[in-house]
Amino acid sequence: MLAPVAQWLEHRPYKAGVDGSNPSRRTMTKPKKIIVQPESANSRLDVFLSTELKISRSQVQKMIAHDQILVNGKLPKKTGGQIKTGNVITCHPEQSEGSLATTTDRDSSPPWADQNDNLKIVAETKDYIVVDKPTGLLSHPTEADEPNAVSKILLKKYPGLKKIGDDPKRPGIVHRLDKDASGLMVVARTQKMFEHLKEQFKNRTVEKEYTILVHYPVARDWEEINFPLARSKTTDRMAAIPQTKKGLAQEEGKQAKTEFWVEKRFVNFTLLKVKIHTGRMHQIRAHFLAYNHPVVGDPLYFQKKNKSKWDARLGRLFLHCTKLGFMDLDGTKQTFESPLPKELADFLKLLK
């Protein structure tokens, strides 16, 4: 694709802060202006910007959610809207006090800056690799072919992965973690192990346990959330579908089941242990938003009327896969655990 016309402009505040803050208190960086060329006409806005800014679609969607993208001077109605030749797209990599933007006062780099690829190898066998993925790292590249992804990092260390799996763009990848989440993942090193793991995920026998922090006190010590999930018709997010008066789920959407236990209660937050019995996209995040307890630090699934300065203070999604269990090719159960990352453990110390 031909390089678009782009230039850096002097930044001027264009609206009040999305959290009601004074725009003059923003940490400003220069916006980027992109003029859409004929070669890119009719592309999706998020896919186009993902390529131009060299970031993931989810990162673009965060920017759109936080009013950091303008198309012809207006906020886009949805992340997947079609762009036209001559459209002027302005990207504002700005940080407002109390917002859920991806930068902090101490790190004012724009959100398309290079992501950390600090990937920890937890276990390595001839059949599989278990890794501890940091937040900000994709499980595998999107259409934008980002360089920083678990699959690409592992491929450099284990070239044999190239022939493993169903998709050459996702070598060895059987399951994924959201870019904003962190924690344990297993990657197959042989096709036999790939098929073995794939079958376990299909039969829902893989044990996955997460630790999350949600807003507000959760009343029950244990609960199951069973809202079906479907892709929203107005955004590219997942939406939970309410149940009918008869207790039967609406026809639209896929079955999703999330189980949780309360680990600790704070004044305005609750720490939970979570198990998912289905593997839907953004399941935990969408379910807890629908449950009226959004995950702390979530840049996509949050309550617009109740944004919290604590989200910005944390600076990441409080969702970590702490436990992963599966059967190896010998029929032996393999279980791995990961402690909370330091930034999450330190954040809990700030709460009362």
Q: Which residues participate in catalysis according to the annotation? A: 178
Closest CA relative to residue 279, chosen from 148, 149, 142, 178:
178
Contact 90, 111 (CB under 8 A): no
| Per-position DSSP letters for 172-241, written without gaps between them | TB-S---TT-EEEEEEESSHHHHHHHHHHHHTT-SEEEEEEEEES--S-SEEEE---EEE-SSSSSEEEP
- Which two tokens mark 292? 């009226």
Q: 39 φ, ψ to 5°?
A: -65, -20
Cβ neighbours, 10 Å, residue 330:
7
Chain-centroid distance of CA 191 in Å reads 28
- Which two tokens mark 130? 């278990």
Report d(CA 328, CA 200) in Å as an integer.
10
Contact 51, 1 (CB under 8 A): yes
* Angstrom distances, CA of residue 1 to CA of 37, 41, 58, 69, 301: 9, 11, 22, 22, 33
Taken in order 294, 134, 334, 141, the sign of the CA dihedral is positive
Report d(CA 221, CA 265) in Å as an integer.
10
| Per-position DSSP letters for 270-339, written without gaps between them | EEEEEEESS--TTHHHHHHHHTT-PBTT-SSS--GGG--HHHHHH-S--EEEEEEEEE-TTS-EEEEE-P
Report d(CA 152, CA 15) in Å as an integer.
39
Report d(CA 179, CA 137) in Å as an integer.
5
Contact 191, 163 (CB under 8 A): yes
